[in-house]
Amino acid sequence: MVVFFETLMLICFGVSWPISVYKSLTSGSTKGKSVVFTIAIIIGYIAGIAGKIVGGNINYVLVLYFINLAFVSVDFALYFINRRKEKNRRA
């Protein structure tokens, strides 16, 4: 039952990241984004992955952690790309 709830949590959180990446790509803006928040999320996913590995509890849920981490990392990179674009538009 624990794995079910962990999976549900990761799916619910995970739904938002592709949407966030899409918005970052289409808007070309950093408006509404927080680097500190994104870093905290990345650290959280890394901690979750480490917990699974160290605890020897490696199962399909680990894949969800990696998928979510990948989307958050892409959104993190897009923040800096969009910030550069915004600076170039102002210049």
Cα separations in angstroms, 39 against 22, 34, 69, 73, 82:
19, 9, 11, 9, 17
Question: Which tens digits make up the pLDDT trace of 44-89?
Answer: 999 999 999 999 999 999 999 999 999 999 999 999 999 999 999 9
Number of domains in the chain: 1
The enclosing domain of 34 has a CATH number of 1.20.1280.290
- Structural domain including 57 reads 2-90
Question: What is the amino acid identity at position 70?
Answer: A
d(CA 27, CA 58): 37
State the pTM of this model. 0.92
d(CA 45, CA 61): 12
Question: Which tens digits make up the pLDDT trace of 4-23?
Answer: 999 999 999 999 999 999 99
